Chain A
Amino acid sequence: MKPDGKLKLVSELLDLPLLDSEGKYCGIVDDVELVGGAGKDLELKALLVGPGAYAGRLPRWAMWVVEKVAGKRITRVPIDRIRSISGSVQLDRPGDELGLHRSEKAAGKWIPRRGAL
């Protein structure tokens, strides 16, 4: 499915895993950015990925815990970067280009690159 028709936000998009063009996991659809207003059609503008995107979905006390543990980072993935939506959201670029692998790269500096068969 391509995201240019009608979408059920909750059942068809929210909380789906994101896969980049190289087939690597690069987060979950934590929230969405919509434009429009009362009485108008709502249009999907971008996907929001990262702990900061929980703010609209968790109570304040839970968000306080999330920020202490994981920070407030949000990465915005524009709608035109989505290739298709099925059991996951497939992107048309590598995650690096969209700023989606920053935490993975930061963690990678701590992992020695030897010893594994």
Chain B
Amino acid sequence: MRRVWFLLALAACSKGPQADLQYIKQARSAGAEWALVNEQASAGKLTATYVGSMHQWLRQQIQTASSGLTEPDARYAIEMQALLSQPDDAAPEELRAHVDKLKQIEDSLESA
């Protein structure tokens, strides 16, 4: 029970990589969805309208995550900017490379 109160207090007033973890997850997931959308689009399974909308919303998710970071110069912040600099129709492998790096950072923060 004491541990739960501690986590509650921590959630309320922390900074740094642990506080940024939720944003790293958000950007990682949005990047992974972006790669999936592009993969399915290149297989001819999606309408152009849907793809355009999803690109817009997923970019917005990554941008929002990036804006919420408390450590804007951290490695994960640079990865998020690298994701945002990709063109909408970037190759899924390229997007997943950035996603995998974010995932590694996320996993190391969670195990810390």
Touch between chains A and B, by CB atoms below 8 Å: no
- The residues of B with any CB-CB pair to A shorter than 8 Å are none
